[in-house]
């Protein structure tokens, strides 16, 4: 998901005050790097995020999949983590709001939305200011509000305080989360209904018939897709693969992964070959070349930073539905069996879960490469793929927001609460 973002500049408050002053004086911010407007919709939906909506992180990838047509969306974001790179939204507005007061935020919101009738609002809260922006938009426009939590910053990790999250939840007509684990924890804490919308995959890229690797595929060389959010995860994985005889091609979402340190040649010698991002449309044929996927996650032993632990415990990595829907890859989760990734793989019988131990990894990969295991897992993945299509998901969200509850229970039925828990 978003993971560990860059630290917001200490001058955010002063910069915000300067911008507000310019707005009040009628100055044009089009050249400031904070505003990008293709056209100003007369009617629009508003989507609020903490950073740019782009493929460099899971949250951006999922929004692009769910809202492939953003011509009637106004995008409001509160920070730039990726050099301002974004193509999402007919109009984009970014201001560093981390230290701003509610009146300052309200002033910014009114300026951004002037002349537009806002139909609906969705916020993906991550930074403490994100709920404040959402509440300001809802108060200013009266439009119904949907909260969609993809990355936890309240239950497991600090960031958004309880009072603010409770206010946001109560003011939201619809409350969505990325995983059943997150649904259960948030519902228990706030006494309100939360509903799952898992990571979804473009219909044009998924396969409903089992996909198998071509003859002659190296059974000891797999794939690692997406970002790795913990340096400790990467270091432990390197230690386990080193000398094991197994290796992976790593296709990262970023050319220079933020927060990670490694030498590419040394890491390749350990069994992890780093590759730069590939376009999403290229993923199905790329993934189809591999016999298995490897997904590192946290050990949940308390030694990782809280933000990293929260990602593992409550956020379902978008790369898992991507790989199993596009190429039906058997998945090996390395880390705790209590993580969200491990529970997903276990729930649907898509692979195995092992600790960061070389012998356990090699034994599991050997089992996953048995032809019978490959066939069984790939057939299960093919059956699940259709349920993970992103087609119609935007309409599903907006219809559900109108009704104040899921317009149908497709996702809840796919991942119901664990009654035994």
pLDDT at position 282 is 97
Bigger pLDDT: 201 vs 13: 201
Q: Determine the pLDDT at residue 101.
A: 87
Please state, rounded to an integer, the average pLDDT across all residues of the chain.
91
pLDDT greater than 60 at residue 26: no
* Band of residue 12 on the pLDDT scale cut at 50, 70, 90: very low
Residues 6+ apart with CB under 8 A from 103: none
Which is higher by pLDDT, 420 or 281? 281
Across residues 45-49, what is the average pLDDT?
A: 98
* Residues in contact with 99: Cβ distance below 8 Å, sequence separation at least 6, in sequence order: 12, 13, 16
pLDDT score recorded for residue 21: 55
Tokens, residue 279:
């376009």
User: Residues 6 or more apart from 291 whose CB is under 8 A from it?
Assistant: 213, 217, 218, 219, 221, 222, 329, 330, 368, 369, 374
Per-residue model confidence as pLDDT tens digits over 108-136 = 999 899 999 999 999 999 999 999 999 99
Would you state the CATH architecture of domain 203-386? Answer: 3-Layer(aba) Sandwich (3.40)
pLDDT score, position 188: 96
Q: Is the pLDDT of residue 4 over 50?
A: no
Residue with the two structure tokens 């090699």: 362
Superfamily of domain 12-196: Glycogen Phosphorylase B; (3.40.50.2000)
Burial tier of 306 (Cβ tally within 10 Å: 0-12, 13-18, 19+): middle
Window from 56-60, 92-96, 157-161, 225-229 with minimum mean pLDDT: 92-96
Of 74 and 256, more confident: 74
How many whole angstroms separate alpha carbon 267 and alpha carbon 237? 10
106 band by pLDDT with thresholds 50, 70 and 90: very high
Torsion-angle region of residue 392: left (phi > 0), alpha (psi -120 to 50) or beta? left
Give the pLDDT of residue 216: 92
Q: Which of 218-222, 239-243, 257-261 has the lowest mean pLDDT?
A: 257-261
Write the Ramachandran bin of 341: left for phi over 0, alpha for psi from -120 to 50, otherwise beta: alpha
Cα–Cα dist 70/262, whole Å: 37
Residue 352 confidence (pLDDT)? 98
Answer whether 57's CB lies under 8 Å from 227's CB. yes
Domain with CATH 3.40.50.2000 in the chain: 12-196, 203-386
pLDDT in tens, 272-328: 999 989 999 999 999 999 999 999 999 999 999 888 899 999 999 999 999 999 999
pLDDT-derived band of residue 229, with 50, 70 and 90 as boundaries? confident
Residue 324: closest CA among 387, 252, 384, 413:
384
Q: Which residue has the higher pLDDT, 223 or 11?
A: 223
The per-residue pLDDT for 1 is: 52
Task: Return d(Cα 87, Cα 36) in angstroms, integer.
Answer: 9
Residue 97 predicted with pLDDT over 80: no
Q: Which of the 8 DSSP states describes residue 303?
A: -
Q: Above 80 in pLDDT, residue 197?
A: yes
- What is the rounded average pLDDT of the residues 201-216? 96
Q: What is the pLDDT of residues 236-249, one digit of tens each?
A: 999 999 999 999 99
CA distance 193 to 171: 13
Could you tell me the pLDDT band of residue 36, with boundaries at 50, 70 and 90?
Answer: confident
pLDDT at 41: 87
DSSP collapsed to 3 states, 100-114: CCHHHHHHHHHHHHC
pLDDT surpasses 60 at 27: no
> Are 56 and 86 within 8 A, CB to CB?
no
The per-residue pLDDT for range 358-374, each reduced to its tens digit, is 999 999 999 999 999 99
């Amino acid at each position: 998901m978003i993971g560990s973002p860059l630290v917001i500049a200490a001058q955010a408050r002063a910069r915000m005050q300067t911008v507000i002053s310019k707005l009040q004086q009628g100055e044009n911010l089009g050249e400031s790097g904070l505003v990008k407007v293709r056209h100003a919709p007369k009617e629009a939906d508003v989507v609020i995020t903490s950073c740019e909506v782009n493929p460099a992180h899971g949250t951006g990838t999922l929004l692009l999949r769910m809202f492939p047509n953003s011509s009637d969306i106004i995008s409001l974001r509160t920070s730039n983590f990726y050099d301002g790179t974004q193509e999402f939204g007919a109009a984009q507005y970014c201001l560093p709001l981390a230290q701003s007061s509610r009146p300052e935020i309200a002033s910014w919101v009114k300026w951004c939305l002037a002349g537009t009738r806002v139909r609906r609002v969705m916020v993906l809260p991550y930074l403490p200011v994100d709920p404040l922006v959402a509440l300001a938009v809802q108060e200013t426009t009266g439009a119904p509000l949907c909260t969609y939590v993809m990355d936890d910053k309240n239950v497991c990790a600090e960031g958004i305080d309880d009072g603010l999250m409770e206010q946001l939840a109560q003011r939201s007509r619809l409350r969505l989360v990325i995983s059943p684990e997150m649904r259960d924890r948030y519902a228990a804490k706030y006494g309100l209904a939360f509903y799952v919308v898992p990571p979804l995959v473009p219909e044009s890229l998924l396969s409903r018939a089992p996909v198998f690797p071509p003859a002659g595929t190296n059974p000891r060389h797999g794939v690692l897709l997406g970002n790795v959010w913990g340096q400790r995860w990467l270091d432990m994985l390197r230690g386990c693969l080193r000398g094991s005889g197994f290796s992976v091609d790593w296709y990262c979402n970023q050319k220079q992964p933020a927060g990670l340190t490694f030498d590419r040649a040394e890491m390749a010698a350990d069994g992890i070959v780093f590759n730069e991002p590939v376009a999403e449309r290229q993923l199905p044929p790329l993934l189809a070349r591999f016999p298995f996927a490897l997904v590192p996650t946290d050990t949940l032993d308390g030694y990782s930073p809280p933000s990293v632990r929260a990602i593992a415990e409550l956020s379902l990595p978008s790369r898992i539905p991507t790989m199993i829907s596009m190429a039906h890859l058997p998945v090996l989760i390395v880390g705790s069996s209590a993580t969200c990734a491990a529970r997903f793989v276990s729930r649907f019988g898509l692979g195995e879960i092992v600790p960061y131990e070389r012998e356990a990894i090699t034994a599991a990969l050997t089992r996953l490469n048995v032809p019978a295991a490959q066939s069984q897992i790939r057939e299960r993945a093919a059956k699940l793929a259709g349920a993970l299509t992103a087609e119609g998901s935007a309409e599903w969200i907006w219809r559900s927001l109108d009704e104040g509850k899921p317009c149908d229970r497709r996702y809840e039925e796919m991942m119901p609460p664990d009654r035994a828990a």
